Amino acid sequence: MSLAAKREPEASGSSSDRARPLGLGASKPGQGAERPEGRVALAVGESVAALAVGACTAGFVIDTLFLQLERHLDARMACLYRPGDGRSLRLVEHRGGPNNGLSGLSVLDPVHGPALALEAVAMRSSRGVEVAAPEIDVFVDARAIVSYCDVIGVISTPLVAAGQILGVVTCGIGHALADLGEAQAVLVALAAVFAWALDGARSQERLLEHIDDLARAQEVLRNAEERLNRTIDDAPIGMAVVGLDGRFLRVNRVLCDIVGYAREELERLRFQDITHPEDREVDLEQAARLIRGDVERYQLAKRYVRKTGEVVDVMLSASMVRDARGIPLHYISQIEDITEKRRIEDRLRQSERKYHAIFHSAREAIVLLDEHMRFVDANPAACALFHETREALIGRRMTSLVTPTTAAMLEAPWQRLSVQGELDLEITLHLHDGSMIPVELGARAHFVPGFHLLTLRDVSHRKRTEAALRLSEARFRFLAENASDVVYQVSFKPYRRFEYVSPSVLAMTGYPVEQWYADPDLGAKIAHEDDRETYARFRKDPNAESLIMRFYRKNGELAWAESKGTTIRDELGAPIGLIAVARDITERKRAEEERERLLAQMEADRSRLLSVIEHSPVGIVLAVGPKGERTMANRRAAEILGRPPRPDEVSSSYLAPLCDPSGKTLPPEEHAMARALRGEETRGRELVVCRPYEQGLPVLESAGPIRDAHGHVLGAIATYEDITRLKRLEQLRDEWSSIVAHELRQPLTAIASHAALLARTEEPTQKRRAENISQSAARLNRLIGDLLDTTRIDAKQLELALEPTDLPSLVRGAVERASLGGRGVVEVVGDVPRALADPTRIEQVLGNLLSNAVKYGAPDAPIHVWVEGTEEGARISVHNQGACIPAEDIPRLFQRFRRLHKGPVLGVGLGLYVCRGIIEAHGGRIWVESDDAGTTFRFTVPGAESEAAWG
Mean pLDDT by 10 residues, the chain (951 residues): 40 33 34 59 82 78 86 86 87 77 78 86 83 77 82 88 87 73 82 82 79 77 73 82 92 91 92 93 92 91 92 92 88 89 84 80 84 88 85 87 82 81 78 76 78 72 64 78 85 86 90 91 91 85 82 93 87 85 89 89 85 85 89 89 88 87 85 89 87 82 90 91 82 70 67 72 74 68 69 72 90 85 87 89 88 86 92 90 85 73 57 87 90 92 63 40
Q: Which residues contact residue 562 at a Cβ distance below 8 angstroms, ignoring those fewer than 6 apart?
A: 546, 547, 548, 582, 583, 585
Among residues 552, 565, 580, 578, which one has the least CA distance to residue 496? 578
3-state helix, strand, coil in the chain (%, to 5): 45, 25, 30
Q: What is the pLDDT of residue 4?
A: 39
The whole-angstrom separation of Cα 316 and Cα 336 is 7
Q: Which residues contact residue 97 at a Cβ distance below 8 angstroms, ignoring those fewer than 6 apart?
A: 6, 77, 145, 148, 149
Q: What is the pLDDT of residue 557?
A: 92
Q: What is the pLDDT of residue 216?
A: 79
Within 13 Å of residue 317, how many CA atoms lie on the same side as its CB? 7
Please name the amino acid found at residue 638. Answer: A
**Distances from the Cα of 826 to the Cα of 85, 123, 810, 813, 867, angstroms:** 71, 71, 11, 10, 8
E-state strands within 98-152: 107-108, 127-130
**Distances from the Cα of 381 to the Cα of 56, 237, 304, 378, angstroms:** 107, 50, 47, 8
CB 846 within 8 A of CB 858: no
Question: Is 786 buried (19+), middle (13-18) or exposed (0-12) by CB count in 10 A?
Answer: buried
Q: What stretch of H or E contains 383?
A: helix 380-386
Q: Which residues contact residue 292 at a Cβ distance below 8 angstroms, ignoring those fewer than 6 apart?
A: none
The whole-angstrom separation of Cα 574 and Cα 577 is 9
